[in-house]
Amino acid sequence: MKVFGIAGAGIMGTDIAHLAAEKGFSVILFDTDELRLRASYETIRERLSRYVEEKRIAQDEMAATLSKIKIHRNIQDLVNADIVIETVTEDITVKKALFRELDMVCRGGVVLASNTSSLSITELASVTKRPELVIGMHFINPARAMKLVEIISGMATTWETVETAKDIVKKFGKVFVESKDYPGFLLNRIIIPMINEAIYALYEGAGSVEAIDRVVKQGMNIPMGPLELADMIGLDVVLAVIGELHTGFSDSKYRPCPLLKNYVAAGYLGRKSGRGFYSY
């Protein structure tokens, strides 16, 4: 396996492209948005330049990594990929439409992976003619720094496909856990309700943003408070995941906080928009 395809040049796609190139894969980075593609490539170039300045890598290592990343606006160019991972928005309709296209474009035997943090792998696989080759590979944001990848099998995913995903995770220098194909998998089923409850505490006036984060950081010895973490993840993503948990389990304990809905409606999405529970 030599060619790594990525569909979606956002934050996660950018980090995964960097990781794959760094580990020796040739990378096909696809997105329909040319500005996003160029911004993604520039983010990687600037990051590598900083590493050179800090003497973390040599100039020739930077050049070698950048030379392995090619940006493409035509999905047909993914035909040469040996594996493709999608990193588009956390919306089942958008992802299913993309999987239909990838199934038609990619060669037989190519694994189609999803970086979804909560959506059904079985449902994504159902729109393809290769459900046995569809798998979830949930990289944790920021993917460059976080060691964990959740591997999620759909109903039809084969052992061979799982082993392929595990092998890639190992090559990336990361560790994996296997999760059942339930809403939110393992990580977000635990973390997102905590964030949602913290937002409820703010909504109900139980404490300030700073107090809520401080009590978690200093009371539980966790590096980031839940509201800081929500801003880093993106409040739109938090809302999408808690909504998926609420729908998937039909349990009121996962009901999205009205304040979270209002922030997303106002465009206060966290770090990526410059404003969330904090200003950036």
Chain segment 196-220, per-residue pLDDT in tens: 999 999 999 999 999 999 999 999 9
Question: CA 215 to CA 207: how far, in whole Å?
Answer: 10
φ/ψ (deg, to 5) at 146: -80, 135
Tens-place pLDDT, residues 257-269 = 999 999 999 999 9
pLDDT tens-place string over residues 2-14 = 999 999 999 999 9
pLDDT of the residue at 212: 98
18 classed as catalytic: no
Give per-residue pLDDT as tens, 63-122: 999 999 999 999 999 999 999 999 999 999 999 999 999 999 999 999 999 999 999 999
What is the arithmetic mean of pLDDT over 37-64? 96
pLDDT confidence of residue 168: 96
Which among 18, 72, 138, 246 is annotated as catalytic? 138
Q: What's the pLDDT score for residue 142?
A: 87
In tens, the pLDDT along 110-155 reads: 999 999 999 999 999 999 999 999 999 999 988 988 999 999 999 9
**Hey, which residues does 72 pair with through a beta bridge?**
30
Q: Is 67 one of the catalytic residues?
A: no
Backbone angles phi, psi at 84, to 5 degrees: -130, 135
Q: State how far the alpha carbon of 220 is from the alpha carbons of 106, 171, 179, 207, 224, in Å.
A: 46, 33, 25, 17, 10
The overall pTM is greater than 0.75: yes
Under the phi-then-psi rule, with left for phi > 0, alpha for psi from -120 to 50, and beta for the rest, what region is 144? alpha
**pLDDT the model gives residue 1:** 83
Q: Give residue 279's pLDDT.
A: 97
Considering 40, 114, 115, 117, which one is annotated as catalytic? 117
- Write down all domains in the chain, each with its CATH number in brackets: 3-179 (3.40.50.720), 187-273 (1.10.1040.10)
| Active-site choice (22, 86, 90, 150) | 150
**Looking at residues 230-234, what average pLDDT do you find?**
95
86 is catalytic: no
* Identified catalytic residue from 40, 115, 118, 188: 188
Residue 26, pLDDT above cutoff 90: yes
Indicate if the alpha-carbon torsion angle 268, 241, 128, 4 is positive or negative. positive
**Residue 188 known to be catalytic:** yes
